[in-house]
């Protein structure tokens, strides 16, 4: 089954404690991206990756890092999480930037 | 000014009603216009998309774009309880998606 898998689905952490949210896709897609979804603000792109070892900032990259060492994986790293990063995070992948994005199930992160 | 404006609702309609969901946008560079559906506790999934102005129909769903007024619409005919979800418009420049905040729809049996 074609899918984008995120882990964990739910995470509560404390300010400053580094965390990683993993994302994996099994569709051999080249394009992957991370979004955060907040009430009243909709989905905002954090980072995207056109291919292995190619990443670029989206609209709200501050406080986040990503890496793309393999085609299937695109982890999101919060080196020092802060409460304003409490949000619902989605990973998405697509064949290229012009085609349909497939979204993961989401990761609800709470930073206290 | 936001790139995309979408009425968040919530919208509640009886089963069988015709539903109209709308967005306005400000960027003339938008070329594609996507509609995503997001069920509670799930990620968004692509419902349909149009390119440039005009209508596109897919079953009970019709997407409409009026580039002259920068207005995007999604119509749902014979709405069903299974249509209850949040609908996100997502215009696309060819380089980046811009998502609306979503309209929450509930179809009451």
Q: Cβ contact (<8 Å) for A106 and B100?
A: no
According to the model, what pLDDT value does residue B1 have? 64
According to the model, what pLDDT value does residue B30 have? 85
More confident residue, A25 or B30: A25
Interface test with A, best of B4, B32, B43 (most A CBs within 10 A): B43
pLDDT tens digit string along A45-92? 999 999 999 999 999 999 999 999 999 999 999 999 999 999 999 999
Interface test with B, best of A3, A7, A42 (most B CBs within 10 A): A42
Sites in chain B below the pLDDT cut of 50: none
Instruction: Residue B77: name the closest of B19, B30, B37 by CA.
Output: B19
B94 touches chain A (CB under 8 A): yes
Q: Could you give the CA distance from residue B8 to residue B13 in angstroms, rounded to a whole number? A: 15
Burial of B71 (0-12, 13-18, 19+ CB in 10 A): middle
Q: Which residues of chain B make contact with A104, given a CB cutoff of 8 A? A: 43
Burial of B106 (0-12, 13-18, 19+ CB in 10 A): middle
Q: Cβ contact (<8 Å) for A42 and B101?
A: yes
Q: For chain B, state the CA radius of gyration.
A: 13
According to the model, what pLDDT value does residue A16 have? 97
Phi first, then psi: give them for residue A51, nearest 5 degrees: -175, 180
Over residues A100-104, mean pLDDT: 88
Strand partners, B92: B32, B97
């Amino acid at each position: 089954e074609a899918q984008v898998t995120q882990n964990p689905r739910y995470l509560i952490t404390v300010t400053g404690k580094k965390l990683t949210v993993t994302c994996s896709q099994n569709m051999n897609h080249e394009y992957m991206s991370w979004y955060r979804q907040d009430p009243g603000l909709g989905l905002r792109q954090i980072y995207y990756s056109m291919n292995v070892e190619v990443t670029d900032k989206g609209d709200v990259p501050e406080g986040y890092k990503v890496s793309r060492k393999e085609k299937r994986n695109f982890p999101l790293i919060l080196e020092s999480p802060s409460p304003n990063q409490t949000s619902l995070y989605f990973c998405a992948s697509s064949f290229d930037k012009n085609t349909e994005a497939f979204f993961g199930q989401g990761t609800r992160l709470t930073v206290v | 000014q936001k790139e995309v404006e979408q009425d968040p609702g919530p919208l509640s309609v009886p089963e069988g009603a015709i539903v109209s969901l709308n967005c306005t946008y400000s960027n003339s560079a938008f070329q594609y216009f996507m509609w995503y559906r997001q069920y509670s506790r799930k990620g968004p999934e692509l419902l349909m998309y149009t390119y440039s102005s005009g209508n596109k129909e897919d079953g009970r769903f019709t997407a409409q774009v009026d580039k002259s007024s920068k207005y995007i619409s999604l119509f749902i005919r014979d709405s069903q309880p299974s249509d209850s979800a949040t609908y996100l418009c997502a215009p696309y420049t060819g380089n980046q998606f811009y998502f609306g905040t979503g309209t929450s729809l509930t179809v009451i049996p």
